[in-house]
Amino acid sequence: MTVEKLTRYDSADYLTDDASIAEYLEAAIEEAGDDPPSIAHALGVVARARNMSQLARDTGISREGLNKALSGEGNPTLETIMKVSKALGLRLAFHPVNPVPLRDERDLTTS
């Protein structure tokens, strides 16, 4: 009987450019819903893809601290998320889930 040797799958191996990283994070946020540890884990995957040691230097946070905060089991502060995002060349963006017209637009449509 032949035994096949399998390697562990790591999403970080496939995040090779800014577009794939942005798509990965968008999908992770969409899938995670209201689960912050899942989003932190996704950011950790991106950090591994980009070089965790360099990220530690760029953020002023120890490599161990980043590994813990972005493991999915950590609880990173918003400050940490912002520092990591900025160092990775990313920014957080907010979009309305159910866009509501501004008051002035509603007044124009009812007249």
- Residue 6 counted as domain residue: no
Q: Indicate the average pLDDT of the chain.
A: 89
The total of other beta-carbon atoms located within 10 Å of residue 99's CB is 7
- The pair of structure tokens assigned to 92 is 């957080």
Count Cα neighbours of 19 within 13 Å in the Cβ-side half-sphere: 0
- Residue 1 counted as domain residue: no
Asked whether the whole model's pTM tops 0.85, one would answer no
- Residue 5 counted as domain residue: no
pLDDT at 102: 78
What value, to the nearest 5°, has the Cα angle with vertex 71 and ends 27 and 13?
60
6 has a pLDDT exceeding 60: yes
Q: Which residue has the tokens 């995957």?
A: 45
Q: Domain of residue 29: give its range.
A: 11-110
- Residue 99 counted as domain residue: yes
Residue 8, helix vs strand vs coil: coil
Tally of structural domains, the chain: 1
Torsion over CA: 19, 74, 94, 31 (sign) = positive
pLDDT at 62: 96
pLDDT at 109: 59
52 has a pLDDT exceeding 90: yes
pLDDT at 108: 58
